[in-house]
């Protein structure tokens, strides 16, 4: 067991570039897919140095089957009288406002939250997120794996009710504070990512996609399968760091994205890029928020030497795509 002594930051000037407040979040859900819903949510608000200010917890009626009851322990009966998400959206937003959202595997929690707000025709007041998995990698923590229980054990934090949103958020808040202090002590740049809220949502039924297996029960928010328009421009080659994207470049996506994947792909096509469904030697760029994952695309990207950027960097690059070269 490794315990961090916070005196290591006592004589260190706190980094001015660090955020002024954090919202440590955990949500339990009906499943892992795009159409799944939140059944409970918890937020621990922390100040700039990671000290707890307050905490909040609520159940949420998902208006559907609760999914894996054997994981989160919340039955339909327990959730029947719980508030709907739109009923707690305002208070939830107050807890998140002007803070960096912190979560373990933050892309998942952010996506679920962003989708719930989109369904409620609103947006979460979150501009940045921090994943404690990414932070533990930055700190080179000697963890056997990237589970929350392993991070908790490293800092001597006792977990009482795994997969209970309030206790998971508490555990993460207690483990995040020494991680934050270690980062400040060692001058580590926090792995902050931009959060772009969803502004479009469709709950209309879609044609089932061949080979797609839904989560714990069918939902109606998946869009019908579609074929993206190929770029009319020739492939100019690989993306080079420090230079803009060029029309015709072949871009592939891997893993979860904070912006709905189809919307992100549409933006790429509108900018004149070609969205590829796989990675090959001709791929100009791979966009992923988890380059260390073992997906076929990330494995091939490493083998081929394909450039890789995260979603935040890609969305910045999309703002200024260079026109195709005339022949």
DSSP per-residue letters across 217-278: S--S-PPPP--PPPPSSPP-----TTS--BTT-EEEEES--SS-HHHHHHHHHHTT-EEESS
Q: With bands split at pLDDT 50, 70 and 90, how would you rate the model's confidence at 266? A: confident
Least confident of 175-179, 242-246, 265-269: 265-269
pLDDT at 209: 32
Q: What is the pLDDT of residues 204-235, one digit of tens each?
A: 433 333 333 333 333 333 333 456 778 889 99
CB 45 within 8 A of CB 22: yes
Other Cβ atoms within 10 Å of 40 Cβ, number? 25
Q: Is the dihedral of CA 240, 242, 243, 247 positive or negative?
A: positive
Could you tell me the two tokens for 155? 């800092």
Q: Which of 110, 64, 32 is nearest to 220 (CA)?
A: 64
Q: What is the mean pLDDT of residues 228-244?
A: 89
How far is Cα of residue 32 from the mean position of the Cα atoms in its chain?
12
Report the percent of the chain where pLDDT is more than 70: 86
pLDDT at 205: 38
Q: With bands split at pLDDT 50, 70 and 90, how would you rate the model's confidence at 316? A: confident
Q: What is the mean pLDDT of residues 34-59?
A: 96
Residue 133 backbone phi and psi in degrees, to 5 = -70, -45
Q: Which of 89, 85, 59 is nearest to 166 (CA)?
A: 59
Q: Which one has a higher pLDDT value, 317 or 226?
A: 317
Q: What is the mean pLDDT of residues 260-287?
A: 88
3-state SS class at 67? coil
Has residue 7 got a pLDDT over 90?
A: no
CA dist 324 and 170 (Å) reads 51
pLDDT at 261: 76
Q: Which one has a higher pLDDT value, 194 or 80?
A: 80
Could you tell me the two tokens for 242? 């420090």
Q: What is the mean pLDDT of residues 154-183?
A: 96
- Strand ranges across the sheet with 250-254: 274-276, 250-254, 285-288, 308-309
Has residue 152 got a pLDDT over 90?
A: yes
Q: Which of 52, 51, 4, 23 is nearest to 185 (CA)?
A: 4
Task: Look over the chain and give the mean of its residue pLDDT values, rounded to a whole number.
Answer: 85
Q: What is the mean pLDDT of residues 262-279?
A: 86
CA dist 221 and 202 (Å) reads 6
Q: What is the mean pLDDT of residues 161-166?
A: 94
Q: What is the mean pLDDT of residues 36-63?
A: 97
Q: Which one has a higher pLDDT value, 238 or 5?
A: 238
Least confident of 49-53, 190-194, 197-201: 197-201
Q: What is the mean pLDDT of residues 250-260?
A: 82
Best-predicted range by mean pLDDT among 78-82, 104-108, 159-163? 78-82
CA dist 40 and 112 (Å) reads 11
Q: What is the pLDDT of residues 95-146, one digit of tens each?
A: 999 999 999 988 889 989 999 999 999 999 999 999 998 899 899 999 988 8
pLDDT at 203: 60
Q: Which of 239, 40, 19, 220 is nearest to 128 (CA)?
A: 19
pLDDT at 216: 36
pLDDT at 173: 98
pLDDT at 114: 92
Q: Which one has a higher pLDDT value, 320 or 2?
A: 320
Has residue 281 got a pLDDT over 90?
A: yes
Q: Which one has a higher pLDDT value, 2 or 111?
A: 111
């Amino acid at each position: 067991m490794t315990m961090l002594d916070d005196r290591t930051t006592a004589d260190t000037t706190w980094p001015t570039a660090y955020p002024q407040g954090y919202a440590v979040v955990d949500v339990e859900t009906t499943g892992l897919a795009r159409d799944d819903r939140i059944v409970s949510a918890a937020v621990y608000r922390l100040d700039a140095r990671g000290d707890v200010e307050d905490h909040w917890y609520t159940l949420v009626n998902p208006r559907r089957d609760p999914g894996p009851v054997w994981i989160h322990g919340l039955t339909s009966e327990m959730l029947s009288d719980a508030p709907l998400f739109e009923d707690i959206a305002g208070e939830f937003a107050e807890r998140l406002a002007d803070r960096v959202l912190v979560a373990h595997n933050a892309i998942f929690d952010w996506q679920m939250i962003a989708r719930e707000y989109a369904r409620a025709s609103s947006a979460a007041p979150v501009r940045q997120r921090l994943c404690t998995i990414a932070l533990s990698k930055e700190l080179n923590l000697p963890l056997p794996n990237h589970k929350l229980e392993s991070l908790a054990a490293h800092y001597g934090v006792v977990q009482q009710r795994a997969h209970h949103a309030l206790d998971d958020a508490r555990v993460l808040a207690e483990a995040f504070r020494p991680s934050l202090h270690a980062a400040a002590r060692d001058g580590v740049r926090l792995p902050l990512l931009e959060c772009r809220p969803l502004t479009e949502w469709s709950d209309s039924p879609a044609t089932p996609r061949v080979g797609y297996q839904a989560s714990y029960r069918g939902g109606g928010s998946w869009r019908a399968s579609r074929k993206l328009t190929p770029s009319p421009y020739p492939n100019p080659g690989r993306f080079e760091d420090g230079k803009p994207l060029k029309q015709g470049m072949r871009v592939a996506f891997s893993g979860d994205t904070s912006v709905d994947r189809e919307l992100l792909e549409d933006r790429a096509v509108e900018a004149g890029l070609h969205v590829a469904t796989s990675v090959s030697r001709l791929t100009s760029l791979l966009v992923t928020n988890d380059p260390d994952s073992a997906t076929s695309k990330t494995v091939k990207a490493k083998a081929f030497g394909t450039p890789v950027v995260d979603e935040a960097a890609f969305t910045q690059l999309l703002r200024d795509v260079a026109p195709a070269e005339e022949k």
